[in-house]
Amino acid sequence: MTAEATIICAADAGYFPLLRQAVQSINDAGLRDRLALSILDLGLEPGQREDLTPLVDALAAAEWDMDFPGRDRFPAYFKAMTARPYLPRYFPGHDTYMWLDADAWVQDPDAVEIYLAAARRGLLAVTPEMDRAYSAFYKRPRPYHRTQNFRAYRWSYGWRVADRLARNPILNSGVFALAADAPHWKIWQAALTRALTRWAPLRATTGLYAHVSEQTAMNYMVYEDKVPATFLPATCNWFCGKGLPMWEAAVGRLVEPHAPHQALGIVHLAGDGVQDRVFSLTSTDGGTIDTPLTYDAVKALAAGGRME
């Protein structure tokens, strides 16, 4: 019997250590009792696929789901971006689909249900990259036409669209949920195709903005096409590169750094060096703790294990 919903993660061989921890967090949270877990293979090695087999319900090799100039010069992992608007094609038979980046992991399974419940209502469930703890909101603001968001819109859709939409908060496509029959999929496909076919081949492969074009396309369909969407709190997709969490020693978990110190549902290790660094976290009991923010490290810390 096919599960009503599936969580999908993706990685190549180099990203496998993070993928393995994301998968383990889903299994440890008991989510596979009611959900399927699917893996989009971007170039895993045979031994890595073998390691994943007992922990997941399906594996599928990523393909190029659209044609665009210069595609043959894009790295294979970019298939994760072009595949995202086509997820029901890869893993058919589910009513609801949730994407989880390989550099994210589940701490509180209730966050997953928040995403899925919203998606079942016909909404795109997604989290903006904004919170009262994120450092960007305490820095001198850049002129908006120099921001990454403006430049991403300009690359994908031109100056006029960038001027109209770039002031909106970025919706992070690293974690989202959407119903299988939602019209959003085709709208997203069209928006991404439009972005990737604007440029001649020589320019299509250059720079950051091509590589975030699927996220820009998702933002475009929300802000421009006005698809039904709901914005979840930062605890549902905590962007560690923008704000360090706190440690709640009494229960062994990461929490938001401001009161009421709610538990983080999904911990996202996005940001330069976040995946490899040891951070000094403030504890809610007044102390500090030095730890990486990976699932294995936090799990060991919660269990009283010694950190390397």
Q: Tens digit of pLDDT for each residue in 67-96?
A: 998 888 888 899 999 999 999 999 999 999
**Element spanning 37, H or E:** strand 36-41
**Angle value at C-alpha 282, between 281 and 285, nearest 5 degrees:** 135
Q: Name the band, by pLDDT with cuts 50, 70 and 90, for residue 198.
A: confident
| Domains (range + CATH), the chain | 5-134+169-234 (3.90.550.10), 235-302 (no CATH)
Q: How far is CA 189 from CA 64, 185, 186, 213, 228, in A?
A: 13, 6, 5, 11, 16
Q: How crowded is residue 245: how many other Cβ atoms within 10 Å of its Cβ?
A: 24
CA dist 100 and 40 (Å) reads: 11
Average pLDDT, the chain: 92
CA dist 188 and 171 (Å) reads: 14
Closest among 18, 23, 30, 24 to 7, alpha carbons compared = 23
What pLDDT is stored for residue 202 in this prediction?
40
What pLDDT is stored for residue 211 in this prediction?
80
Residue 252: left (phi > 0), alpha (psi -120 to 50), or beta?
Answer: left
CA dist 22 and 239 (Å) reads: 15
What pLDDT is stored for residue 201 in this prediction?
55
